[in-house]
């Protein structure tokens, strides 16, 4: 079985057929393909920038939430009661530890979005 070597320096196929064939370089993609790749990379870059800005805003919310837990004893005690209730329900129904962690995480994410006036 003949091994095919596709290098950029090749001018055509390794076959002995001397008919005129269009040779192309694998190293330089067609202009249309290059434009599509550039457009896709641009869209992906925009998505990454958007995700990064969302992540920054979420971190700011979390920092505010942690600060409110430290400063507001009523809020902290209410959260503690909610977590204890969640854990008692999880123990009653024999859910896994993973469920407990996810439940408390979801509670904290929900509470961090609340704005008290």
- 14 in any annotated domain: no
- 91 in any annotated domain: yes
- 86 in any annotated domain: yes
Range of the domain at 50: 31-113
Q: State residue 27 phi and psi, 5-degree precision.
A: -80, -25
Query: Measured in Å, how far apart are the chain's first and last C-alpha atoms?
Result: 77
pLDDT score at 54: 72
82: pLDDT strictly greater than 90? yes
- 15 in any annotated domain: no
- 63 in any annotated domain: yes
- 55 in any annotated domain: yes
- 23 in any annotated domain: no
More confidently predicted of 14 and 52? 52
More confidently predicted of 82 and 11? 82
* CB contact at 8 A, 35 and 42: no
The rounded radius of gyration (Å) of the Cα atoms in the chain is 30
Total domains in the fold of the chain: 1
Q: How confident is the model at residue 81 (pLDDT cuts 50, 70, 90)?
A: very high
The mean pLDDT value for 46-71 works out to 74
- 102 in any annotated domain: yes
């Amino acid at each position: 079985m003949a091994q095919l070597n596709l290098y950029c320096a090749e001018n055509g196929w390794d076959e002995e057929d001397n008919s005129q064939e269009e040779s192309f370089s694998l190293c330089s993609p067609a202009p249309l393909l290059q434009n599509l790749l550039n457009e896709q990379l641009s869209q992906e870059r925009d998505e990454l920038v958007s995700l990064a800005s969302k992540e920054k805003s979420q971190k700011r919310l979390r920092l505010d939430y942690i600060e409110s837990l430290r400063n507001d004893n009523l809020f902290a005690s209410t959260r503690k009661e909610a977590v204890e209730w969640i854990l008692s329900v999880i123990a009653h129904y024999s859910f896994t530890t993973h469920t407990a962690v996810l439940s408390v995480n979801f509670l904290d994410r929900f509470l961090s979005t609340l704005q008290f006036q």
